[in-house]
Structure 1
Amino acid sequence: MHPSFEERFDEVGELLQRTKAAHSGLYSRIDRRAPAKPVRYQVTGGSFGMYQIKDRTTGKTRAFRDDYKAAHELAMQFEAKTNRQIAVTL
């Protein structure tokens, strides 16, 4: 592999370690545990008066709502669906 690629991988690895250290420091300051899994769905302000529910893993917009509370509730429902365990029946 080219030396500049290896150097870049090392830089990215160091930045990720710093980010994880900063997150753990933040959660220790507010006396809370860090979440086990990152949030998958995020509510963002798309345009004036409209809120988007985006899937952070794919970057695609999943739905729109005109009320923040409704968008937040829908994002929580999407999150609950992804966290469900698939029941196996025999």
Structure 2
Amino acid sequence: MEPENPENMEFDASPNDTGGVEDTLRPMEATDSDDVRNEDGDEVVDPPEQWAAADHIAAEPEGESLDEKLAAERPEDGSSEDDGSIFPVVE
């Protein structure tokens, strides 16, 4: 009996090994930096040292507080025929 030769074995084509639509890369090649002509490897972006914009709470401008603004809100009653919606109301 002859030993199996892995180089001559036939395998079913994996979806990752088949070509993409028209001239697009196969999925396995599309993520390889060498195949997308990125000669210096994968480029990474270093995060900033401080996230200053996300670390502070915005101060309320002079005038009404948020609680006062919310208390002044009035719920819509829905009785208006033209509510500004582009979709008809189906009853």
TM over 0.5: no
Task: Determine which structure has the larger helix proportion and give its number.
Answer: 1
Using the size of structure 2 for normalisation, the TM-score is 0.20
Q: Which has the higher contact order (CA 8 A, sep 6+)?
A: 1
Name the larger-Rg structure: 2
Task: Determine which structure has the larger strand proportion and give its number.
Answer: 1
